[in-house]
């Protein structure tokens, strides 16, 4: 979400602190996804303070057979930067989807999206990422 | 492979397909993915997602964070509520089957509780009542309570008495006949509500020959004819009329000695 480990850690601590305070007041969050919801909003807040991504229509390419080998060439940080540069709610959708910890319903719940919205954001995200991969690693290189 | 045409909804669900199979825990999603697996597009998407996830998994999580929350306990498992179980077709089918079996069992139990010795004979006599006309009986105009002596004197039928609940009713006619089992049956036609009485021997135990007793009034119903039966001293008395059980209820509910 932030592509910045230090900021992510700050968000984690702030979320944990709030959970501890609520628990101490006997108001422990009942929602099992509370931690993720809270962390998401903190990430979005933190993201607003830094540089903002320009609102441009990114190119989209059809997913290619060669995509896995293109992705293999990336560093994890590069993918994190790419996702954190996406506008929200696409950023949230992609970050949580590729975290691979949620089922479909949980994903809809945390992202606060409707099924067609989530579907479109993921589909567009993949294609845009494929276009970026194609630009970064042209066919001759793969 | 890509000959399968996915509907709009299936395509929408396919784009949200979780990377790990165990995350597919919804029926509509499972069905959509079952069809999507036959397409090449989905295979490419899955390979793409797996590669991206592998990259995400490679992002190191600081030790401090994993100490607080172990990586395998990020999300608490969903508590399945009973409504969720109830919507499962297997549970639903089992529930309906159990309900039907219970209802049948209750009916059987109620039916068994209503059974009494001599019920088959009483049912046969209900059929007789429905096909009898007043003119088929010998005219006897008296109080029903006096019939016991009449039946004893004329036909040698012992204990063929009308219970006190019906003793005051006026009779129109009477006859005595042998039923298909050779038992002597007295049939009485009463003025009130075109009611008919049947007095017949109680069912006997084939081993001991003793009459099978039962206590109180028992009711039976057959083809819009109702009857109330009582056993006393080895003889059954049945009052019957065409109608509903509530037509006879006032008679049997009053206590008379």
Q: Which of residues 45-84 of B touch A (CB under 8 A)?
A: 45, 47-59, 62, 64-65, 68, 74-76, 78
Domain membership of residue A91 (yes or no) is yes
Higher pLDDT, B78 or B63: B63
CA distance A48 to chain B (A): 23
Domain membership of residue A57 (yes or no) is no
**Do residues A88 and A124 both lie within one domain?**
yes
Q: Answer yes or no: is pLDDT of A141 > 70.
A: no
Q: What is the reported pLDDT for A51?
A: 64
Q: Tell me the pLDDT band of B236, cut-offs 50, 70 and 90.
A: very high
Domain membership of residue A58 (yes or no) is no
Q: What is the DSSP letter of A24?
A: H
Beta bridge partners of B219: B228
> What is the radius of gyration, based on Cα positions, of chain B?
38
**Do residues A17 and A40 both lie within one domain?**
yes
pLDDT in tens, B81-96: 777 777 788 888 998 9
pLDDT in tens, A9-49: 888 888 888 888 888 888 877 788 888 888 889 888 887 77
**Do residues A35 and A83 both lie within one domain?**
no
**Do residues A47 and A67 both lie within one domain?**
no
**Do residues A73 and A124 both lie within one domain?**
yes
Q: What is the reported pLDDT for A78?
A: 87
Number of H helices, E strands in chain B: 9, 7
User: How high is the ipTM of this complex?
Assistant: 0.87
Chain B residues whose CB is inside 8 A of the A101 CB are 74-75
Q: Answer yes or no: is pLDDT of B71 > 70.
A: no
Of A2-6, B123-127, B236-240, the one with minimum mean pLDDT is A2-6
Q: Do B202 and B208 contact (CB within 8 A), yes or no?
A: no
Task: Decide if A129 touches B, using CB distance below 8 A.
Answer: yes
Q: What is the reported pLDDT for B18?
A: 87
Lay out the sheet containing B218-222: strands in order across.
B138-139, B171-178, B184-190, B196-201, B235-242, B225-232, B218-222
Q: Answer yes or no: is pLDDT of B98 > 90.
A: yes
* Contact flag A100-B56 (C-beta cutoff 8 Å): yes
CA distance A58 to chain B (A): 19
Please give the structure tokens belonging to residue B2: 């890509």
Domain membership of residue A12 (yes or no) is yes
Q: Answer yes or no: is pLDDT of B257 > 50.
A: no
Chain A residues whose CB is inside 8 A of the B51 CB are 67-68, 71-72
CA distance B49 to B35: 18
Please give the structure tokens belonging to residue B138: 């010998």
**Do residues A74 and A35 both lie within one domain?**
no
Chain A residues whose CB is inside 8 A of the B68 CB are 16
Chain B residues whose CB is inside 8 A of the A99 CB are 56
pLDDT in tens, B177-193: 988 888 899 999 998 88
**Do residues A84 and A38 both lie within one domain?**
no
**Do residues A81 and A104 both lie within one domain?**
yes
Number of A to B CB contacts under 8 A, please give it. 97
Cα–Cα nearest to A99, from B14, B216, B205, B59: B59
Domain membership of residue A119 (yes or no) is yes
Boundaries of domain holding A99: 63-142
Q: Tell me the pLDDT band of B76, cut-offs 50, 70 and 90.
A: low
Please give the structure tokens belonging to residue A74: 């990336």
Q: Answer yes or no: is pLDDT of B134 > 80.
A: no
Q: Quote the percentage of chain B above a pLDDT of 90.
A: 23
Cα–Cα nearest to B16, from A37, A111, A40: A111
**Do residues A77 and A103 both lie within one domain?**
yes
Please give the structure tokens belonging to residue B22: 């165990």
Domain membership of residue A122 (yes or no) is yes
Task: Decide if A65 touches B, using CB distance below 8 A.
Answer: yes
* Contact flag B64-A9 (C-beta cutoff 8 Å): yes
Domain membership of residue A116 (yes or no) is yes
**Do residues A13 and A32 both lie within one domain?**
yes
Long-range contacts: B159-162, Cβ < 8 Å, 24+?
A: B159/B232, B159/B233, B159/B234, B159/B235, B160/B186, B160/B199, B160/B235, B161/B199, B161/B232, B161/B235, B161/B237, B162/B188, B162/B197, B162/B199, B162/B237
* Contact flag A100-B58 (C-beta cutoff 8 Å): no
Task: Decide if A131 touches B, using CB distance below 8 A.
Answer: no
Q: Answer yes or no: is pLDDT of B168 > 60.
A: yes
Domain membership of residue A11 (yes or no) is yes
Mean pLDDT of chain A: 85
Which residue from B19, B45, B78 is facing A63, i.e. has the nearest CB?
A: B45
Which residue from B15, B19, B65 is facing A100, i.e. has the nearest CB?
A: B19
**Do residues A134 and A89 both lie within one domain?**
yes
What is the number of domains present in chain A? 2
Please give the structure tokens belonging to residue B102: 């219970």
**Do residues A67 and A47 both lie within one domain?**
no
């Amino acid at each position: 979400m932030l592509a910045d480990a230090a900021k992510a850690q700050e968000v984690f601590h702030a979320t944990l602190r709030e959970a501890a305070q609520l628990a101490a007041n006997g108001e422990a969050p009942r929602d099992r996804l509370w931690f993720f919801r809270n962390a998401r909003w903190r990430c979005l807040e933190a993201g607003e303070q830094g540089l903002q991504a320009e609102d441009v229509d990114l190119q989209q390419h059809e997913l290619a057979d060669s995509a896995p080998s293109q992705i293999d060439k990336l560093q994890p940080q590069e993918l994190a930067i790419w996702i954190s540069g996406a506008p929200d709610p696409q950023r949230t959708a992609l970050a949580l989807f590729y975290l691979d910890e949620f089922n479909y319903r949980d994903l809809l719940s945390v992202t606060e999206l409707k099924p067609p919205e989530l579907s479109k954001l993921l589909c567009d995200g993949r294609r845009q990422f494929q276009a970026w991969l194609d630009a970064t690693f042209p066919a001759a290189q793969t | 492979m890509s000959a399968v045409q996915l509907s709009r909804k299936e395509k929408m669900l396919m784009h949200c397909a979780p990377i790990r199979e165990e995350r597919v825990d919804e029926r509509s999603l499972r069905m959509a993915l079952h069809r999507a697996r036959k397409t090449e597009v989905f295979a490419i998407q899955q390979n793409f997602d797996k590669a991206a996830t592998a990259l995400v998994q490679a992002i190191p999580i600081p030790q401090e964070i994993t100490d607080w929350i172990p990586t395998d306990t990020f999300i608490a498992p969903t508590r399945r509520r009973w409504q969720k179980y109830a919507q499962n077709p297997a549970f639903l089918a089992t529930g309906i089957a159990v309900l039907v079996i219970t209802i049948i069992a209750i009916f059987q139990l109620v039916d068994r509780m209503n059974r009494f010795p001599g019920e088959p004979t009483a049912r046969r006599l209900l059929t007789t009542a429905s096909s009898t006309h007043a003119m088929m009986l010998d005219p006897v105009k008296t109080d029903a309570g006096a019939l016991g002596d009449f039946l004893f004197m004329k036909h040698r039928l012992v204990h063929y008495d009308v219970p006190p609940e019906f003793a005051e009713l006026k009779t129109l006619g009477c006859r005595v006949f042998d039923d298909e089992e050779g038992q002597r049956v007295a049939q009485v036609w009463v003025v009130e509500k075109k009611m008919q009485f049947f007095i017949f021997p109680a069912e006997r135990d084939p081993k001991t020959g003793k009459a099978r007793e039962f206590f109180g009034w028992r009711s039976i119903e057959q083809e819009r004819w109702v009857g109330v039966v009582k056993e006393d001293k080895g003889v059954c008395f049945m009052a019957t009329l065409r109608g509903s059980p509530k037509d006879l209820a006032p008679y049997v509910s009053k206590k008379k000695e």
